[in-house]
Structure formats: C-alpha cells, structure tokens
Amino acid sequence: MDLAFIPSPSVGVVHLGPIPLRGYAFCIIIGVFVGVWLGNKRWVQRGGRSGTVADIAVWAVPFGLVGGRLYHVITTYEPYFGKDGHPLDAFKVWEGGLGIWGAVALGAVGAWIGCRRRGIALPAYTDALAPGLALGQAIGRWGNWFNQELYGRATDVPWALEISSDPAVGRVGGTYHPTFLYESLWCVGVAVLVIWADKRFRLGHGRVFALYVAAYCAGRAWIEYMRVDEAHHILGMRLNVWTALIVFLLAVAYLVISAKKAPGREAIVEPGAQEEAAAAAGGADAESAKSAKSGKADETATSDESDEGRSDRPGAKVSVAKSAGGEGAGHAVPGDGADAAADAAGGGAKTS
C-alpha cells in the first residue's frame, strides 16, 4: 500500500481561448529569467554594468535553445528520423526534449558573440552567470513533471512519482523515482556550493563556471543512471552518463590548469564600468555636499533674520539712543544700552 506519492498533473497544457499555455514552456521561461536576474546581480557586484548580462543573454538564450534541441534530436533520432518517425516533430520543443549538454555548448557560442560585441571576456561573464544557470536548470526541470517524462525506475518510496498510463506514447502507469526532482534539488545545491566557493576562494577566469559544470556532472551521472527512458548505450552505460563523466574530467582539468596559469580574479570585468560608477558616485557626493552647503547658508540667513529683533545688538542700541535724544543722538558711540540713553538725554538737540 502506498502511503504517499507525488501526483503528476492531469494535463501539461491549459488553453486560454485559442492560446495554449504549456507548463513545460513556463518552467523554461521562468528559469531563464531567474538565471539572468541572479547573473546580473553578480555581474554588478564584480564591477560590471547593470543590464549587460541581459544584453548578452539575448544572444545566449536562443543559441542555447537551438543547441539543446539539436543534442536531443541527434542523440534520440528514432522518433523523428527513424522508422515511422515524424521529422516535423523535431521542431515541437514544447513537447519536451532539450539536452543540457547542447544547450550549454551552443549557448556559450551565443554568449561569446555577445561578449565580443561588448568587449568583455567570456570567462568573466560565465563566472557571473554560473549559479544562475544552476537555479535556472532547477526550475526548468519541473517542466518534465508537467510532461510526465524522464522519470526513474519503479519504486514504492513515500516520495515516488505517480505516472499515468498512456499507450499512445508507450507510458506504463505506476509510481517511479522522481528523477526530475532529484536533479532539481541537486542543481539548487550546486548553486549554493558555487556561490560559497566563489566568496571563499575568490575564483575567477572561468573557474566558477568550471566548478558549476563539474558539480552538475557529478550529480547528473548517478541521476541519469536511474532513468528508464530509452537511450543509446555505450559499453553498457547510457550515453549521457559517458557525457557527464567526460565533461566532468574536462572541467576539473580546467580548474587545475587555470588556477596555475591565471591565479586570482579579474580586476576589471567590463571596460569603463568602474569609471562610470566612480563618476556617478562622485556626482552624487558633490550634489550632496552642495545641498548641505545650501542648507547651511539658509540656516545662517534665518539666524541673522531672527537676530534683527534682539535689543542687545549695536544697531538696536543706536535706535534706542535716537528715540531718547532725537537726531543729535545719532552720533552716540554704542555702549551699554542704559548709558547710551542717559548720554543722549543730557546732551539735548543741537541748534544752528
């Protein structure tokens, strides 16, 4: 008896009139936005301009989607170009089927083009983007939940994923390991690891990205081993397991070699960005100082105006003398207020 399980959505698409709203597409789109948002924050922290990550993503994201689809179609060509295949289905991205290996590889080509147009080094850009990529993958994996695909072996654990039967696609109902959930949680852990390591060791020159790739591959290898969907095998292992192992070794090699050839972190990641930030900060400081000086001048003027009514000022003493003795008292030397009044009273007014 199953005590608990994770239910699958009854449908993966909701129709808003004639417009289909697909859960898989939503997950991919949200993942992209989260990745770009976090990447932008990290880029600004490292001395870059806000908005640069999004500008380059305009190149990277389309290339990544094309690369991911190409990898899937090439490595799983039977439904599209095999016997009784449907070639046009290769364009139906919303039905699932994006290979992360192709997405990252061709996405990097798009990012390289965008970086060249902005005069930015690709390794610095990928370092800023790496944790966002991991979080984007964590969100995107939930698209497999909506499509009821890429699950693991049958199991009766409490967190098993319920899959409904669908003879049209050869899907057998039951409860299976939710490998989409395993990979999603693993990607969250990778993002946390990469952010921590970057702060702790001040990684640079592409090593943050290499750490993300190595950590992801380490998890993908065992998660891939659990899956039961059709895949090509080489020497008894699934193709994606071999891919994960090879890419893992390449990432570790890059980490070691890069640390020796270019230790530390880049001082400048985007030409002119730090100067603009300093100029903007200087302008803000100058405006603040100007406002403070203006406020002080206004305070002084207000103080002077309030002092005009005080009788202990020299001008007030002369006025008192004039009132007591007439015009002739106007030449009295200001002194104590009472003495000035007495002198003016004794002198009287001069006649011609």
Q: Could you tell me where the beta strands, DSSP code E, fall in 74-194?
A: 161-163, 174-176
Spans in the chain with pLDDT lower than 50: 1-2, 310-352
pLDDT at 281: 79
Separation of alpha carbons 290 and 144, rounded Å: 58
pLDDT at 341: 37
Q: Are 80 and 111 in contact (CB under 8 A)?
A: no
Write the CA distances from 161 to 7, 12, 43, 226, integer angstroms: 6, 15, 38, 14
Write the CA distances from 124 to 42, 60, 94, 199, integer angstroms: 11, 15, 32, 15
Separation of alpha carbons 329 and 345, rounded Å: 9
pLDDT at 303: 55
DSSP-assigned beta bridge partners for residue 305: none
pLDDT at 5: 86
Write the CA distances from 185 to 33, 193, 214, 350, integer angstroms: 19, 12, 16, 104
DSSP-assigned beta bridge partners for residue 12: none
- This prediction has a pTM of 0.79
pLDDT at 242: 96
pLDDT at 295: 60
Separation of alpha carbons 284 and 89, rounded Å: 57
Separation of alpha carbons 113 and 122, rounded Å: 9
